[in-house]
Amino acid sequence: MTHVIEKAANVPATGPLAEALAMRGKLMDLTQASYEAALLPVDEGQVPASVRAALACRMARICQQAGLSQHYADLLQRYGRDADPYQLAQPGTRPPKEQTRLGAMVAYVDLVTQSPRDATKADIDALTQAGLEEADIVRLAGLVAFVNYQLRVTAVLSVMGENS
């Protein structure tokens, strides 16, 4: 399977950057495996894969990462036309008030993507109060943390690849 990051960053197949990536081939494989664990997990808990794709797309757009915004928009589309009824893939949107769990999840995604330094215990308490189980909070936090890593690796590789 082609790695998502190298494809989204349009990394050249040969040259010094390709060689550097080959030297870290095991790490790029583990990065791809982490992508699959975060976006396409066997045990998705109460955080469905379609919601994960929508939130990942939202983060990619917040971080203005073109390659991954496109990747996640395509992934989301694979879950069907109704996969993202509240357009959460679009930054700035909020689900309707009665969608308490989704609302709390979106608030966490926005805060921890844009300003993780401002997160406090109250932000985890808000997820619990909205009805998320502890395991699902860890799954959500893992998704947000991984995607923010992936976005930055892709951003650097895109720029490095331009001149190779």
Partner 1 sequence: MSRVIHKFTTRVPTWRPHITPIDLDSATPAQREALKETPSNTKISDYVLVLAHDPESLRIRTSLFNGIMYDKGGLSREERELGAVAASVVNRCIYCAAVHAQRYNHIVGDEKVMQDIFLRGKEADLVPRVRAILKFAMRLSECPPNVSQDDIQSLREVGLDEQEILDLTLSTTLFGWANRLMHTLGEPVSSH
Residue among 73, 83, 107, 124 that touches partner 1 (CB under 8 A): 124
Alpha-carbon distances, residue 107 vs 18, 41, 69, 91, 104 (angstroms) = 38, 22, 19, 11, 5
User: Judged by CB, which is closer to partner 1: 3, or 77?
Assistant: 3
Least distance to partner 1 from the beta carbon of 70, Å? 16
User: Judged by CB, which is closer to partner 1: 73, or 141?
Assistant: 141
DSSP per position, the chain:
---HHHHHTT--SSSHHHHHHHHTHHHHHHHHHHHHHHHS-S--TTS-HHHHHHHHHHHHHHTT-HHHHHHHHHHHHTT-TTS-TT-TTSTT----TT-HHHHHHHHHHHHHHH-GGG--HHHHHHHHHTT--HHHHHHHHHHHHHHHHHHHHHHHHHHHHHT-
Cα 78 from Cα 110, distance rounded (Å): 24
Residue among 13, 14, 19, 98 that touches partner 1 (CB under 8 A): 19
Least distance to partner 1 from the beta carbon of 97, Å? 24
Could you say whether residue 33 binds partner 1 (CB under 8 A)? yes
Q: Which of residues 54-113 bind partner 1 (CB under 8 A)?
A: 62-65, 108, 112-113
User: Judged by CB, which is closer to partner 1: 77, or 149?
Assistant: 149
What would the x/- binding string for partner 1 be over residues 130 to 149, using CB under 8 A? ----xx-xxx-xx-xxx-xx
Residues of the shown chain interacting with partner 1 in the complex, contacts defined by CB under 8 A: 16-17, 19-21, 23-24, 26-27, 30-31, 33-34, 37-38, 41-43, 45, 62-65, 108, 112-117, 119-121, 123-125, 134-135, 137-139, 141-142, 144-146, 148-149, 151-153, 155-157, 159-160, 162-163
